[in-house]
Amino acid sequence: MAPVIPFNRLVLLVVLAMVAFAANSLLCRLALRGGTIDAASFTTIRIVSGAVVLWAIARMRDGTMTSAGSWGSGAALFAYAAAFSFAYVELSAGVGALLLFCAVQVTMIGWGLWSGERIAARQAAGLALAIGGLVGLMWPGLSAPPPGSSALMISAGVAWGIYSLRGKRSGDPTIATAGNFMRAVPFAVILSVATIGGAATDTAGVLYAIASGALASGLGYAIWYTALPGLTSTKAATVQLSVPVIAAAAAVVLLDEAITLRLVSSSAAILGGIALVVLAKRQR
């Protein structure tokens, strides 16, 4: 039986985890929008630094790495990280986080439906509202995000959704994540070698990538998995609704990004629709 986490500590862990997840979008956008580092190098440094931190955490917990994770999950993790980086060459931090979050949730909900889960009418309406919000965000117009980068971020969300679904079958999630990060390293190195002609790095870009991998990813995931035993699955899904909001708000303050009416209305539809789905009890 998992130990009971004191409420104050649980709240602190959840807040830190959500801030870390949002920070990934901010750090990636900050590094790539000014061309301080190329997307492939950012991906590789992020994955390697995340693997090092998670390996250290696993060792401190006396976890064995011999059978942790899987190559399939490592490939899905790499696909997410690579698409995420290349998408942020053009996307704003707020829009990117919203597209990522929506794609992850729709992927996981869609898999549940494919696997035989039944949802109530309110949940179906919520899913339709979320998809409508995504269509509204992507609809061609002056304030629409770049379609190519948007497609990449949606692909990143699908990959992360697949990774999350695969993770439900693993043992200790922190140990498994450490193993998956280590297995993602060879894929990232191959990507960097294949794109070496366009490689560009400087000190700032490397530091942003290390912070994204070691702090926002490595420590962020470790903190989140520490908090998860104190949350129901519904609460865990619902609290993640805060990530796009945190990312968008921080991007306005730190990156001088604009908040458009399209982004606000689409965000309300997407987050509200997904909230309807996860807050209602699913029926089989």
Residue 15 belongs to some domain of the structure:
yes
Q: What is the pLDDT of residues 98-115, one digit of tens each?
A: 999 888 888 888 887 788
Report pLDDT for 284: 46
Q: Give residue 60's pLDDT band: very low, low, confident or very high (50, 70, 90).
A: confident
Residue 163 belongs to some domain of the structure:
yes
What residues make up the domain containing 226?
7-279
Residue 53 belongs to some domain of the structure:
yes
Report pLDDT for 281: 55
Residue 71 belongs to some domain of the structure:
yes
Residue 200 belongs to some domain of the structure:
yes
Q: Looking at the 3D structure of the chain, how many domains does it have?
A: 1
Share of the chain above pLDDT 70, in %: 93
Residue 70 belongs to some domain of the structure:
yes
Residue 30 belongs to some domain of the structure:
yes
3-state secondary structure the chain: CCCCCCHHHHHHHHHHHHHHHHHHHHHHHHHHHCCCECHHHHHHHHHHHHHHHHHHHHHHCCCCCCCCCCHHHHHHHHHHHHHHHHHCCCCCHHHHHHHHHHHHHHHHHHHHHHCCCECCHHHHHHHHHHHHHHHHHHCCCCCCCCHHHHHHHHHHHHHHHHHHHHHCCCCCHHHHHHHHHHHHHHHHHHHHHHCHHHCCECHHHHHHHHHHHHHHHHHHHHHHHHHHHHCCHHHHHHHCCHHHHHHHHHHHHHCCCCCCHHHHHHHHHHHHHHHHHHHCCCEC
Q: What is the pLDDT of residues 114-165, one digit of tens each?
A: 887 777 788 788 888 888 888 888 777 656 789 999 999 999 999 998 988 8
Report pLDDT for 141: 67
